Amino acid sequence: MSNKTELEVEIGGARLDRYIAEHLPELSRAAVQRLIDDGFVFVNGVARKASYRVRVGETITLTIPPPEPATPRAEKIPLDILYEDDDLIVINKPAGMVVHPAAGHREGTLVNALLAHCPHLNIGGEERPGIVHRLDRETSGILVVAKNDVALREVQAQFKARRVHKIYLALVEGIVKPPHGKIDAPIGRDPKHRQKMAVIPLPSLGSRDASPLHSTPAARARQAVTVYHTRANLGAYTLLEVEPQTGRTHQVRVHLAFLGFPVVGDTVYGKKKNALGLTRQFLHAWKITFTLPRDGRTVSFTAPLPDELREALHRLGYTLT
């Protein structure tokens, strides 16, 4: 199949993604949807959503980008290493760095840097070697990376059993009330905005949506629990210590926005305009406590607050100690 393909619609009424998948069987419907989302599909020269209903006589133009290499390459990118032994590396990730390669981010990721630092790091899959957990691109702070399969399985088991304690620092819009609390609200893919996550109520027991075969957004939502504690009230803002007890995508950001207190600088779940001179979100993976795989010692690590976040607090008259 060539890189560029044109289809003339002969029978109208079908969804765009379904029509393409039916006429180009070498592409799965999921692959077609990704191409649509990434801007590689046009109808009469206009980008359309996957749900668009095609009409007779329209021309669908589809471009398939060249395949990207499956194995990330090593890049000599400086790493801020907080701790390292034969099993693990604990890293202070800067904001703006993607953790692992993905479409549009094949270079400059943490994985690229890790492969230069540890050339034989090939556990846990080629795309995510050694990655135990992840942080959003614009979130800074602590990440734990495993150097061998035993360490990977052990630390992943600690995460699954909720024996790893992670504390984030988050500056949010507004004065948080109550000042301390627990957010227990399931998170799933936002049905209206597929690039976002959202709090989605789980179906009640006995309802049609409760069936494991039913593919509604509610059925795909998963339990998410976050505990927060107010560290300081700062005028129109609140500095929080936040501990996610589950590991859902964008969990801290989604939960705090759900309460009505979005993270400062979060342009996805909060206000579009950044505040306090920030060009990133004020969310930092500050502390972590877990058990070393080799000797069973409980260890804790702290990632210093980045300069830009510290300066934002200074503007509010607060110094983190």
CA distance 106 to 102: 6
Q: What is the DSSP letter of 263?
A: B
What is 157-202 written as a DSSP string? Answer: HHHHTT--EEEEEEEEES--SSSEEEEE--EEE-SS-TTSEEE-PP
CA distance 26 to 17: 13
List the one residue out of 169, 308, 312, 319 whose CA is nearest residue 236. 312
Q: What is the DSSP letter of 113?
A: H
CA distance 135 to 274: 20
Q: What is the three-class DSSP state of 262?
A: coil
Q: Is 37 a catalytic residue?
A: no
Token pair recorded at residue 300: 């804790």
Angle at 229 between CA 197 and CA 275, to 5 degrees: 60
Name residues whose C-beta falls within 8 Å of residue 272's C-beta, 6 or more positions apart in sequence.
none
Q: Is the dihedral of CA 239, 280, 91, 71 positive or negative?
A: positive
CB atoms within 10 A of CB 257: 21
Token pair recorded at residue 148: 């061998």
Report, in angstroms and rounded to the nearest whole number, the Rg of the chain calculated over CA atoms.
22
Residue count (the chain): 321
Active-site annotation holder among 136, 190, 209, 266? 136
- Cβ atoms 112, 77 nearer than 8 A: yes
Token pair recorded at residue 170: 């988050």
Single-letter amino acid, residue 25: P
Q: What is the three-class DSSP state of 320?
A: coil
Query: What positions carry a catalytic annotation?
Result: 136
